[in-house]
Amino acid sequence: MLSSLTVEVLQVSEQRLPSKIAFRFVQPLDSSGFQWLWFDWQTFSYRSFEVPAIGQSSSLRGPPEVPLSEALRAVFGKADTGSPRTAKN
């Protein structure tokens, strides 16, 4: 539980996914206790994130929409995701 953070979904997309979110913190966002990162889906890596000034906003791209079968192939390679196979000696 994060008692020093409140997250509120302000808007959802047609797919019923959060498209606008408000974050409220007890500490100032520029506190040394925070390290802000965002995940770059194009490079599959974390990058530094600069917190917007008061009254400003920032938009970040989420993951690409792909069929589940393509996502599984990307994660597990070209392995058959059908019935389990048994090892042959």
Domain ranges in the chain?
A: 34-51+61-80
If DSSP codes are grouped into helix, strand and coil, which group holds residue 58? coil
Query: What is the distance between the alpha carbons of residues 28 and 54, in angstroms, rounded to a whole number?
Result: 11
| pLDDT given at position 34 | 87
Mean pLDDT over the full length of the chain: 82
Query: What is the distance between the alpha carbons of residues 83 and 89, in angstroms, rounded to a whole number?
Result: 19
| pLDDT given at position 87 | 47
> Is the model's pLDDT at 89 over the cut of 70?
no
Rounded to whole angstroms, what are the CA distances from 44 to 34, 36, 62, 74? 22, 17, 11, 12
Q: Are 26 and 32 in contact (CB under 8 A)?
A: no
Query: In the numeric block, which tokens belong to residue 10?
Result: 């302000």
Task: Check residue 41 and report its DSSP letter.
Answer: T
Q: How confident is the model at residue 86 (pLDDT cuts 50, 70, 90)?
A: very low
Q: Please state whether the predicted TM-score (pTM) of the whole model is above 0.95.
A: no
